[in-house]
């Protein structure tokens, strides 16, 4: 079938993207779903920094690629072998398909699925195939989703069925920002009730982490960013303290405000300077968690002795260490009860045609979550 999709042909085009237009809205061919796959009508897809990182070349991927990975939609058709979804079901996409058989999958860590990581790097679905074409050329899938499009064919194992009462624009962000941010707090760090938390980088992921930390009973939730508007917004969401990390004294200011640092610091900016702040404001015996995905050549270094003598822990968190089919429904339930008000992170709804302008706003750090509605 013919569909409209936002396709990236060249990484590293100059900003502003409103002028260079890295994403072209093109009419492309989408093949029918095959064994284990599902055809979706995409209803909403959020703009995440991980899309921006492909556009700006920080996360190089094979080109051309149809971007978008934080998507929600309605099942239109199921391929052979898909017995537990039917047309009309509402689903959220997870950006790591899990095979269910590899060692990490068997250990209950589907975010680390080995075939899932391999196909995501290659830009295919879990089957190793691509279902998108433009004339005779194949188009790669982004993280098994390619959600900035009217329709998508995705692996069943990339999907979680969700409550149809939740509007698509709100439920879409559970697929990446919410799973990543809340999951980092409750799954990766498993913070303790009453503990002190800092979040460095207040985008969709960081603000989700902030809401997760409040919900999980952190006694102090410190928000850190380089954008004063984000600090103000974090305060409205319930941050107890805010610090501007453009201030060169930010580490000592947070340390003195917290009697030596926080129990848990989360780096959610995707930048080494943010990780340095997060590590610097973690207390003796504390844990620093990073969800950021900076360019693969960027190195974070720290004094080894601090790890030993202060019994520090540094942890990475991918997809919030979530089991999507378990955690997305749990987080949605908390949202429905008003205990995880992630709908407040939706700053803008835009059309597919406005997507390059949307990425300019994300790159300027102005947006919490911008969602394309279709």
Ligand X SMILES: NC(=O)c1ccc[n+]([C@@H]2O[C@H](COP(=O)([O-])OP(=O)(O)OC[C@H]3O[C@@H](n4cnc5c(N)ncnc54)[C@H](O)[C@@H]3O)[C@@H](O)[C@H]2O)c1
Least Cα distance to 30 among 4, 62, 10 occurs for 4
**Position 49 contacts ligand X (CB under 6 A):** yes
Among 64, 147, 261, 292, binds ligand X (CB under 6 A): 292
| Residue 105's binding partner out of ligand X, Zn ion, none, with CB under 5 to 8 Å set by partner kind | Zn ion
**Ranges assigned E (strand) in 55-169:** 65-66, 70-78, 90-93, 132-134, 137-141, 151-155, 159-161
Question: Residue 94 or residue 287: which is nearer to Zn ion going by CB?
Answer: 94
Query: Is the bond into 16 cis (omega within 30 degrees of 0)?
Result: yes
* Percent helix, percent strand, percent coil in the chain, to nearest 5: 35, 25, 40
**Position 341 contacts ligand X (CB under 6 A):** no
| Residue 185's binding partner out of ligand X, Zn ion, none, with CB under 5 to 8 Å set by partner kind | none
Least Cα distance to 183 among 71, 72, 344, 340 occurs for 340
**Position 6 contacts ligand X (CB under 6 A):** no
The helix-helix angle for 250-257 and 272-280 (nearest 10°) equals 30
d(CA 371, CA 374): 10
| Residue 157's binding partner out of Zn ion, ligand X, none, with CB under 5 to 8 Å set by partner kind | none
**Position 212 contacts ligand X (CB under 6 A):** no
Among 203, 212, 280, 286, binds ligand X (CB under 6 A): 203
**Position 116 contacts ligand X (CB under 6 A):** no
d(CA 179, CA 163): 16
Total residues contacting ligand X by CB under 6 A comes to 34
**Position 271 contacts ligand X (CB under 6 A):** yes
**Which of 121-129, 253-261, 272-280, 301-309 is the region at the interface with ligand X (rule: CB under 6 A)?**
272-280
The residue ranges that bind ligand X (CB under 6 A) are 48-50, 53, 176, 180, 200-206, 224-227, 230, 245, 268-271, 273-274, 277, 291-293, 317-319, 362, 365
């Amino acid at each position: 079938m013919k569909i409209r999709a936002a396709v990236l042909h060249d990484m590293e085009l100059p900003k502003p993207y409103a002028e260079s237009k890295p994403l072209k809205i093109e009419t492309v061919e989408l093949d029918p779903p095959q064994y284990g796959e599902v055809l979706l009508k995409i209803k909403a897809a959020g703009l995440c920094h991980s899309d921006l990182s492909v556009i700006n070349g920080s996360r190089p991927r094979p080109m051309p690629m149809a971007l978008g990975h934080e998507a929600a939609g309605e099942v239109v058709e199921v391929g052979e072998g898909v017995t537990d979804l039917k047309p009309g079901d509402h689903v959220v996409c997870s950006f790591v398909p899990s095979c269910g058989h590899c060692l990490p999958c068997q250990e209950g860590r589907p975010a680390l699925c080995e075939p899932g990581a391999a196909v995501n790097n290659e830009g295919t679905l879990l089957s190793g195939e691509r279902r998108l074409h433009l004339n005779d050329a194949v188009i790669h899938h982004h993280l098994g989703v390619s959600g900035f499009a009217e329709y998508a064919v995705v692996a069943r194992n990339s999907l979680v069925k969700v409550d149809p009462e939740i509007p698509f624009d709100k439920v879409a962000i559970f697929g990446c920002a919410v799973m990543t941010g809340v999951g980092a707090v409750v799954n990766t760090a498993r913070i303790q009730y009453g503990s002190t938390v800092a979040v460095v980088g207040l985008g969709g992921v960081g603000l989700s982490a902030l809401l997760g930390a409040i919900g999980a009973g952190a006694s102090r939730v410190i928000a850190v960013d380089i954008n004063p508007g984000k600090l103000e917004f974090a305060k409205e969401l319930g941050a107890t303290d805010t610090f501007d990390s453009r201030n060169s004294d930010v580490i000592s200011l947070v340390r003195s405000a917290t009697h030596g640092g926080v129990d848990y610091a989360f780096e959610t900016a995707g930048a080494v300077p943010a990780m340095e702040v997060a590590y610097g404001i973690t207390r003796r015996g504390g844990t620093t968690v990073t969800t950021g995905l900076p360019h693969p050549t960027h190195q974070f270094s720290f004094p080894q002795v601090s790890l030993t003598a202060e019994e520090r822990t540094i942890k990475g968190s991918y997809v919030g260490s979530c089991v999507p089919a378990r955690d997305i429904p749990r987080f949605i339930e908390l949202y429905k009860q008003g205990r995880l008000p992630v709908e407040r992170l939706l700053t803008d709804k835009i059309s597919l045609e406005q997507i390059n302008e949307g990425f300019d706003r994300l790159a300027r750090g102005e947006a919490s979550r911008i969602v394309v509605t279709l």
